[in-house]
Amino acid sequence: MKSVTDGIFNDKIVTCDFRDAFKRGVWAQPQTYGSGVVEALKRQNVTCTLAHLRHVRTPSQYSGKVNDSRYPNKSHTGRFCPVETPEGENCGHLKTLALFAMISSHRDETDVLDNLSGYLQDVDEVPLQQLHVFDKVFLNGRLLGLSTRDEAKAAVLHLRNRRRRGAIHSEVRVLTFPAFHGELQIFTDGGRVLRPVFIVENNEWLLTDDNVSELHGLNNGEEKVRFLLQEGLVELLGPEEEEQCVIASRYSDLRSGIRYTHMELHPAAMLSITASTIPFAQHNLSTRVTYQAQKHSKHAIGYYSCNPSKRFDTTSDSLFYPQKQLVSTSMCRLLSPNDSAMMRGWPEKLMHGQSCVVAVACYDGYNQEDSLIFNQAAIDRGLFRSIHERTHRYNINLQSSEESFGRPVEEDGSPQQRYQHLDEDGFPEIGARLQSSQAVIGKTRKLKEGTVSNSSIFLKNFEEGSVKEVVRLPKIAQGSHDVNVKTASASFPHGGVKVKIASTRAPQAGDKFSSMHGQKGVIGCCLSQEDLPFTRQGIVPDVIINPHAFPTRQTLGQMLESIAGKAAAMGVRVNTTPFSSASPDQLGAALHRCGFQKSGNERFYSGLYGSMIKAEIFVGVCFYQKLMQMADDKIKWRRIGRHDSITRQPIKDRQKYGGIKFSQMERSSLVAHGAAASIQERMFHLSDPHQVEVCTRCDRMASIGRSRAPSCRFCKDKFPGFARLEIPYSCKLLVQELNSMGIDLRLVTDSSASLRGREDKN
């Protein structure tokens, strides 16, 4: 039944425009146009999601030459991470909040006004000649009144003491500028970047053992933060208020003789969430820390949600057996949500990697450059095995034509092979194995002429998997007020279907991996366990990396993590938090107590010959991440296929079975090997071979008429001799483009008249 309000209110005016703006990220109005206002939340893993929620964009032009806005500022310390920023035009403009930084919210002004009542004088009550001896008092940029210099100082001390006692909200900022402007600025508005620091009085830390005991008795982090603020142990400072403070970097600085007012919570508090999870980050090259913080940690495969089976994301990857790091930083332990009853028992699943036995050696030539050698037996046991899921969705569109779900049939009534896994309703069977180019959703469209066309959705090229789940959403009835139905099918007002396709992926040659220190690499070979080297205890490494990775990338932190992981496997707990981690001597001593060499080297035996390898090999336990760049998503091949209509060269789209660009670096590589036949095959026979007729008198390309007989437009019939050449079609286009610019280019053949003339003269 049609409702009375259906003709009055049209959801297309507001609802559809809002939905479209959120989907495309473009907000357009009659006089304004803005893009990038809405950004889809990234859910590759939990760390990626948390880091994305703390991004801060600078509202300026991203393109152009380098300017001061890209460089770190001294006011960014403790508020924005100095290492987590992307490459390219967004470098420096896209920042990330530091570990404990926060954005203030708007707070009530009543408490501030009540505490200022005894320190203010009305502007009208002060003579004009005495204004220069008074300080102006502002609240959120609004002039409240005047105050003498002594009263202004007393007001600042009073407000800060009340803030430390909890009488005024901790986000209220109190600034005084007596030397320059004679102003007292107070802010309670939102949008200010604040960071917490410890309060120091007379160079003494106010935190006592009783306070620590009370903190341990609290249940969650919010109660602990509230306790520290209300007890006057921690204070939130803004960049302007921080200029009037002297902050110590660590506890030992309080004994240096300098009078401090505050102390940092931890030196690693200036880093972001992703950067603070890197073990021994202070021992790595800064570019490697940036790679791990900005790229690798966000591309690592883990568990992105607590309910992945109930979600229908477009694409998702989940690791089968995520592990906690054997050696981790304090931030990794904070990310383990043990305080939440809902998330208890999930800290291992929230990680995005596994611990591997990593050896540093050159073995069999398959780990050159940054390639890796993997243990095939470890892969068979489930090492870095993941599941890739993709959701196909479609909603029935009733505006332009009538559509319905169903299995298409041929003219004789028999189903085609591409639709063999679809039922009569056009939906695939649960558990059916779909191959490339097979139908995943069957539907037909009834055209206006009365004919029925096939509009099914097929799997893309190189895509395959098993049907994991099929969900059909009902149509919303005209004038329906059922909230549950509208919520379930908000994106599909006319009814739709969602089909989830899943495929299991084991590590293979070409998959990309990275350690926590930016040591990225791809698998070069997967060797059987019998062919890999082993120690006298029978330990076989899971991964073998090239020794040249350390002097070129300068990631000493990975060496320390390998030693610490080796000791942790024997039951030794090691702190790897940046700027407060154990020293190399302490790690070596802990390793020596476990029965290993201090350096981490061990004697290995060859798996191929059984003899002892003469050189010692560095081996340890290191945390590795499987990145989302996998060979199954990148691989493509073609022998024949579609070509560009202009250049007659293979197209480049992978979904259309396009080719791979063979450019100067690949050509130079084959030239260095002397593979002339391979160069000709790649750049001519498999690209754009073409035959042309060349006039042997003037050495110009002949024209081919309707009779398919060659003729020279320059020589006419004076010398009707032609030679056939095989050249790339792009060369033929080059000749024609040069001719259009008045530049003549001639092709000299063995039978050309000019060549014969020179031979006669000789």
Catalytic residue IDs: 370
Structure tokens at 292: 């791990």
Distances (CA, A) of 726 to 113, 444, 671: 89, 48, 21
Sequential DSSP letters for 658-717: ------HHHHHHHHHHT-HHHHHIIIIITS-EEEEEEETTT--BPEE-TT--EEBTTTBT
| Separation of alpha carbons 461 and 314, rounded Å | 17
Structure tokens at 521: 């690499």
In 3-state terms, what secondary structure has residue 528?
A: coil
CB contact at 8 A, 189 and 140: yes
R_g of the chain computed on alpha carbons: 35
Nearest to 470 by CA among 494, 445, 434, 435: 434
CB contact at 8 A, 526 and 348: no
SS (HEC) of 213-264: HHHHHCCCHHHHHHHHHHCCCEEEECHHHHCCCCEECCHHHHHCCCCCCEEC
**Residue found by looking up tokens 């940690």 in the block:** 297
| Separation of alpha carbons 602 and 587, rounded Å | 16
Structure tokens at 396: 């029935």
Structure tokens at 538: 């029978």
Structure tokens at 585: 């001597």
| Separation of alpha carbons 67 and 680, rounded Å | 47
Nearest to 559 by CA among 520, 613, 615, 601: 601
CB contact at 8 A, 82 and 91: no
In 3-state terms, what secondary structure has residue 611?
A: coil
Nearest to 533 by CA among 592, 608, 584, 476: 608
Amino acid at 203: N
DSSP state of 628: S
Amino acid at 644: D
| Separation of alpha carbons 733 and 129, rounded Å | 85
Nearest to 311 by CA among 536, 110, 43, 713: 43
Amino acid at 520: K
Task: Classify 600 in phi/psi space as left (phi over 0), alpha (psi -120 to 50) or beta.
Answer: left
| Separation of alpha carbons 647 and 730, rounded Å | 6
Instruction: Report the sign of the C-alpha dihedral through residues 640, 645, 649, 650, in that order.
Output: negative
CB contact at 8 A, 662 and 717: no
| Separation of alpha carbons 96 and 53, rounded Å | 9
